[in-house]
Amino acid sequence: MKILVLGAGAIGGYFGGRLAEAGVDVTFLVRPKRNEQLARDGLKVESKLGNLKLPVKTVLAEDVKPGYDLVLFTCKAYDLDSAMDAIAPAMTGGAALVPMLNGMSHYEQLDARFGRKNILGGTCFIDSSLQKDGVIRHGEKLQRMVFGERDPSQAASAKAFGEALAKTKLEWERSDVIEQVLWEKLMFLAALASVTCLFRGNVREIMAAPRGRDVMERAIKSNMEIAKREGFPPRAPAVEFAFTRGTDADGPWMSSMLRDMEAGAPVEADHIIGWMLEKARKNRVDDGILSMAYTHLKTYEARRKAGRLA
């Protein structure tokens, strides 16, 4: 299987790197600066599961051509339009696409651009970040990918991708209920992002604060109810994961959205929190935490745009 990975950052670099490490034919679609960095230093990963340093194949957007079997799509939601433009030549050859974006609203745009039959469902669970020196830091042992067919015609592509992943050290699953998985991921992610961004702290710090646990539990319960009313009641393992991880008194993790805020970078306010807030209001579910978080994030975006983040 020939795979094009969009980006070589925290997600694409880590999962694509593990695939390349296993001998899978992987090419990274990167910007010029990252291309120079990879050509000079190779792809570097620091992980408790084993460090990685290897030369990798790269391509710039202007040089992308058909001939790939699958595109691993790992951009942020605010870069969705430009990312779709960048991979478009690769998709003309009939490649399948597995998105690794957080949330769900991107599927409508991907389906419209490339056709639903070419867009599988996908998500990942990992705590990783790209450092200024180009090294990808994998913060803990979690490195799970879940994907699956959204259309029966995608079975061959899903099978081939699973065979490629089976060669790696990654934890992965080919799910026959991928939309259920996406809702369960969003249930937790929207709660984690809302609470950590509101209070500008990791889970451990929030749990140590007065009523921090109450706020996180309220956020998770509200999102569980949204998913239920949308027809995807969270299953017991997903509920246990959300409460265990979201209220861990020793949990050093935070949402990637908070890391973006602390770096003064763009955030996925509309794509994650705004989208869930609309669903909460449509279904008349408690929207208190989501509403405060969304206002906070949109205020941050306005201050960032005006250059007032000092």
The per-residue pLDDT for range 14-38, each reduced to its tens digit, is 999 999 999 999 999 999 999 999 9
Please list the residue range(s) of the chain that carry CATH number 3.40.50.720: 2-176
Catalytic residue among 44, 76, 185, 279: 185
pLDDT (average), residues 106-128? 95
Rg of the chain on CA atoms, in Å: 19
The per-residue pLDDT for range 250-274, each reduced to its tens digit, is 999 999 999 999 999 999 999 999 9
Instruction: Give me the CATH code for the 180-305 domain, please.
Output: 1.10.1040.10
pLDDT given at position 140 = 83
Against a cut of 0.85, is the pTM above it?
yes
CA separation for the pair 5, 20 (Å, rounded): 11
> Over the chain, what is the mean pLDDT?
96
Please list the residue range(s) of the chain that carry CATH number 1.10.1040.10: 180-305
pLDDT (average), residues 114-130? 94
In the predicted model, is pLDDT for residue 144 greater than 80?
A: yes
185 is a catalytic site residue: yes
In the predicted model, is pLDDT for residue 139 greater than 90?
A: no
In the predicted model, is pLDDT for residue 92 greater than 70?
A: yes
The per-residue pLDDT for range 149-180, each reduced to its tens digit, is 999 999 999 999 999 999 999 999 999 999 99
Please state, for a pLDDT cut of 70, what percent of the chain lies above it. 100
pLDDT given at position 262 = 95
In the predicted model, is pLDDT for residue 231 greater than 80?
A: yes
Long-range CB contact pairs, 48-53, < 8 A, 24+: 48/138, 48/140, 48/141, 49/138, 49/141, 49/143, 49/169, 50/169, 52/17, 52/18, 52/21
The confidence band for 93, taking pLDDT boundaries of 50, 70 and 90, is confident
What the block records as the tokens of 87 is 């991979």
Any idea which architecture 2-176 has in CATH? 3-Layer(aba) Sandwich (3.40)
| E-assigned strand segments in the chain | 2-6, 25-29, 43-47, 52-54, 57-59, 70-73, 96-99, 121-130, 136-148, 171-174
In the predicted model, is pLDDT for residue 310 greater than 80?
A: no
pLDDT given at position 269 = 96
- In angstroms, the first-to-last Cα distance of the chain is 47
CA 220 to chain centre: 19
pLDDT (average), residues 195-199? 98
Residue with tokens 């889970």: 203
